[in-house]
Chains A and B, each alone.
Chain A
C-alpha cells in the first residue's frame, strides 16, 4: 500500500489529532485577534507623531536637543586617546583625599614665605649657577687668613693713605738728608750703649760736681741758670745773686749764705735757713726768706767792684736735692763778672 492509503483506525486517530490542533489554532487565533484589537491605531500614530509627550518624535527631538547640548560640552573637551572614566573617577577620589598636606609637609610649607610667583626651575638654575660661582669664590677666599672682622673700606682708605707714603714726607726727607752714615749701624746697640752712657754720666755727675761758667754784666738783671730744681737770678740793681726754688717738697727747707771778700774790708759773711718749699718770689742768700712769696733784701751784701763772693745753697735734710756753690768774681760793678756755678748731685 502507498503512503496515501491507511487504515480506518489510523484515519480516526489522524482526525482526532487534527481536531485537537484545530482547537489550539482557534485559541491562538482568538488570542491574536484580541491582541490586534487592542492595538490602537491612534496610539500608534500618537507614538510616532509625538502628539503626546511620550511620542517617539518628541523623544527623538528631545534626544536631539540633549545630544546637541552634550556635543556643545564635548566640543570643549580635547582628548586624543581613550580614557577609562572609572579609572579617572578612582583617581579623582584618591586625589580628593589629598586636599590637605600631610602634617609633616604642612609644617614645612608653613615655614615657606613667598609673596609672589616664584619659578622654581629658574631658582634651581640660579642656585646651580650661584653654587658654581661660590665654589669659584671659595677657591680665592680659601687663600685669605683672617681672625676678626675687617673693615675693607677702612683698609682701602688706609692703603690709599699709605700709598701716598711711598716717599718720605719732606720734613722727614730733610732730616734723613742730614744724617751722614757710611756703614751699617745697629740702632739697638746704639740704644743699649746710650743707656749705658746715661748710667755712666749719672754716676759721674754724682761723683763730680757739674760746673757751669758764664760771663754776665754786673748791671744786668736776668736769669742766669736753670736746671728744674732752682733758678739763679742776678739782681743788677743791687748786685746780688738770688734764687728761686722750682721743685722741692712743701715741707723742705733750703739753707745757704754768702761769703764776700771786698775792698777794703776783710770781708763779710752770713748764712741761715733761707726758704721753705717751692718759691713764688726771687730770694736773697742773706737771711730767712719764709714764706714762699717773701723776698728780703739786705744791701750790706751788695757787690761793689773788686769783689769775690761765694754763695751756697744746701737742702736742710733732703738728700735728693742738689747742692750748689756759686762763685762770683766782680771787676767793675758795671762790666762783666765771671760766675762759676758748681752743682753737686746726691
Chain B
C-alpha cells in the first residue's frame, strides 16, 4: 500500500504498460477493456512507490519474472 491516504491501489497493465489504476475495488477488473485485449492485461495491487502520479510498466528481472518499474512522465512530443 503506497497511497499516503492508506487506500489500496489496483494497477492494470496492457501489454506491460500502464492502462489505468483505481482506488475503488469495484473497478479493479478488465470490464472496460475490449475483450480481445483482455488476455494481454495484468493487474497488480499496491505497487511499492506508485501513487498515480508516476508512470509504471512491467519489466522482466534477471529471473524472467515481471516486476513493476516506475518512471517519470515523459515531456510532450514536439512537432
Which positions in A face B, CB cutoff 8 Å? 217, 219-223, 235-238, 297, 305-306, 332, 334-336
Contacts and interface: CB of A to CB of B under 8 A. Distances in A.
B52 A220 contact: yes
Looking at chain B, what size class is its interface with the partner chain? 10 to 19
Nearest to A306: B76
Contacts of B20: 219-221, 235-237
B21 A217 contact: yes
A220 B18 contact: no
Contacts of B22: 220-222, 236
Given A219-B52, A332-B76, 4 more contacts: A217-B21, A219-B18, A236-B20, A336-B53
* Of listed B32, B53, B55, residue having the most chain A CB within 10 A: B32
Given A219-B21, A220-B23, A221-B20, A334 B55 contact: yes
Interface in B39-79: 52-53, 55, 73, 76
21 contacts: A217-B52, A217-B53, A219-B18, A220-B20, A220-B52, A221-B20, A221-B21, A221-B32, A222-B22, A236-B21, A236-B22, A237-B12, A237-B19, A237-B32, A238-B32, A332-B73, A332-B76, A334-B55, A334-B73, A335-B53, A335-B73
Contacts, number: 48
A90 B40 CA distance: 136
B36 interface: no
A318 B32 CA distance: 31
A297 B24 CA distance: 21
A217 B18 CA distance: 13
| The 4 A-B residue pairs with the shortest CB-CB distance in the complex, in nearest-first order | A236-B20, A237-B32, A221-B22, A221-B27
Contacts of A219: 18-21, 52
Interface of B: 12, 18-24, 27, 32-33, 52-53, 55, 73, 76
Contacts of A223: 24
B69 to A, nearest CB: 15
Nearest to B10: A221
A236 B18 CA distance: 10
A221 B53 CA distance: 14
Contacts of A237: 12, 19-20, 32-33
Nearest to B21: A220
A235 B32 contact: yes
Contacts of A306: 76
B50 to A, nearest CB: 11
A97 B21 CA distance: 119
A221 B24 contact: yes
A335 B18 CA distance: 12
Given A237-B19, A237-B32, A334-B55, A222 B76 contact: no
Contact of A305 (B21, B24, B76): B76
Contacts of A332: 73, 76
A307 to B, nearest CB: 12
B24 A222 contact: yes
Contacts of A217: 21, 52-53
Contacts of B32: 221, 235-238, 297
Contacts of A235: 20, 32
Contacts of A335: 53, 73
Nearest to A218: B20
Nearest to B20: A236
Contacts of B27: 221-222
Contacts of A336: 53
A166 B59 CA distance: 68
Contacts of A236: 19-22, 32
Most buried by A among B19, B20, B23: B20
Contacts of A305: 76
A223 B19 CA distance: 17
A220 B76 CA distance: 20
